[in-house]
Amino acid sequence: MPHKHTGKRTQGWMGIRRGHHAHPFEWLAEKFIFLTSLSAILLVFLIFLFVAREALPLILGKVSSAAAQTAILPEKMDEMSPEELRAYLELSKAEFAAKDRETLHLLMELKAEAAKEVPDDKDASVNTANWRYLLQPYQWTGYDKPEYIWQPVSQIHKYNIIPLLIGSLKTTLVALLFSVPLALGAAIYVSQLASPKVREVAKPAIELLAGIPSVVLGFFALVVMAGVLQKVFGYESRLNAFLAGTALGLAIIPVIFSIAEDALSSVPGSYVQAALSLGASRWQAAWQIVFPAAIPGVFAAVALGFGRAIGETMIVLMASGNASIMSWDLFDSTRTITATIAAELAETVFGGHHYRILFLLGTILFAVTFLSNLAADLVMHRLKNRLEGRG
């Protein structure tokens, strides 16, 4: 707390004592300022809470997605409590309240009929929303070996998330391989080697790249880059992980550049002057003195670039081809976690297993980016301390 409304003079900020005791209005206003400043913490907490909350029943194993469910005869409707009936019909409270008896009866008949049509094999009784089926391969009927399959909209809902994880990692890897050398090279040049005049123009110009919305980069990848890259590399499927990764690289270049440039520029000029006076060239000073001193900042830049790349949605949704194929080939069409959420959430049943699995994917995404941000933050803090000579 900054200070309390007490009779005593309080130690104010920067060691300056207050001239007056705080007026009640000021006391209130300052408390309000303090509470508002908590909003960022609160929001991070709420984001995690409300995304994870929707996925929680799934995490706890309380969701069943088995296609074969014991159908209840429509005639037995009156024996069920309204809550049981609602759960059985997979309706939300509002939907349930909106329907009259006839409609409910009709829904029950439909459900009973659907139950009859479910294929009569072992797959139908599998609860595919179980962790085992989310992560491990399984030999479905008609396949000759266990496979990882993401196929949510079929009679047997196959929810293996491994192909999506690989898709996300593949595109992110391409993006990093493409953007890290470019962005770091440009950062070294702009902060250490360029003349002040060039620097003044180049820095904001490169950062302008961040002003291009990701949907526009996705559009550019789809309409222009797809054709060009296919001609150059001669691969088969027009939309693939390589194309999406390259476009994604464009999106994270300004992120990596901006942070790395700041870190390199924050290294004291005396380091460079000392190196130059000992006969080093500008490049040697930049590469052997400044770069090692700023390495935590560079690491943070790459970590944030990674977080941004794995969480980017529109570019991969438009340019990756969206086929959930289990393969490490960069030139195969691929489907990422983010694109899956964006493409499928609108069609899911509210509160159903598909809906909850998409929220689970969101929770995983949040956790991954949270950790990479945290790592970047801690490292940057250490860098700042080191350059300021505090340990």
- Give the footprint of other proteins on residues 277-306 (CB under 8 A): 279, 281-284, 287, 304
User: Distances in Å between the alpha carbon of 18 and those of 34, 52, 95?
Assistant: 18, 46, 59
Q: How many whole angstroms separate alpha carbon 271 and alpha carbon 262?
A: 16
Q: Does 177 engage in binding with other proteins (CB under 8 A)?
A: no
Single residue of 56, 193, 323, 387 touching other proteins by CB under 8 A? 193
* Nearer to other proteins (CB atom), residue 265 or residue 327: 265
- Check residue 167 for interaction with other proteins (CB under 8 A): no
Q: Please report, as residue ranges, which positions from 241 to 280 form the binding site for other proteins (by CB under 8 A).
A: 250, 253, 257, 279
* Phi, psi of 69, rounded to the nearest 5 degrees: -120, 145
Binds other proteins by CB under 8 A, chosen from 75, 83, 84, 377: 377
Chain centre to alpha carbon of residue 245: 15
Among the listed residues 9, 132, 381, 386, the single contact to other proteins using CB under 8 A: 381
Among positions 9-28, residues that touch other proteins (CB under 8 A) are 12-14, 16, 18-20, 22-23, 26
State which amino acid sits at residue 234: G
CB 130, min distance to other proteins, A: 22
Does position 60 interact with other proteins (CB under 8 A)? The reply is no
Q: Which member of 181, 227, 268, 292 binds other proteins (CB under 8 A)?
A: 181
Other Cβ atoms closer than 10 A to 232: 8
**By the rule CB under 8 A, 40 interacts with other proteins:** yes
Environment class of 221 (CB within 10 Å of its CB; exposed 0-12, middle 13-18, buried 19+): buried
- Smallest gap from Cβ 118 to other proteins, in A, equals 30
Q: How far is the CB of 22 from other proteins (least distance, A)?
A: 7
Task: With beta carbons less than 8 A apart as the criterion, state whether 113 and 121 touch.
Answer: no
Residue number, 308 or 335, with CB nearest to other proteins:
308
| Residue 51 lies near other proteins (rule: CB under 8 A) | yes
Q: Are the C-beta atoms of 194 and 270 separated by less than 8 Å?
A: no
If one counts every other C-beta atom within 10 angstroms of the C-beta of residue 174, the result is 22
**114 vs 228, which CB is nearer to other proteins?**
228
- How far is the C-alpha of 231 from the C-alpha of 223, rounded, in Å? 14
Q: Name the one range near other proteins by CB under 8 A: 58-66, 103-111, 156-164, 200-208.
A: 200-208
- Under the binding rule (CB under 8 A), the answer on residue 213 touching other proteins is yes
Taking the least distance from each CB to other proteins, the nearer of 173 and 194 is 194
Query: Is 224 a residue that touches other proteins (CB under 8 A)?
Result: yes
DSSP code of 284? H
- CB-side neighbour CA atoms (13 Å) of 139: 4
**The tokens of 229 are what?**
């890259």
Cα-Cα-Cα-Cα dihedral sign, residues 383, 385, 387, 391: negative
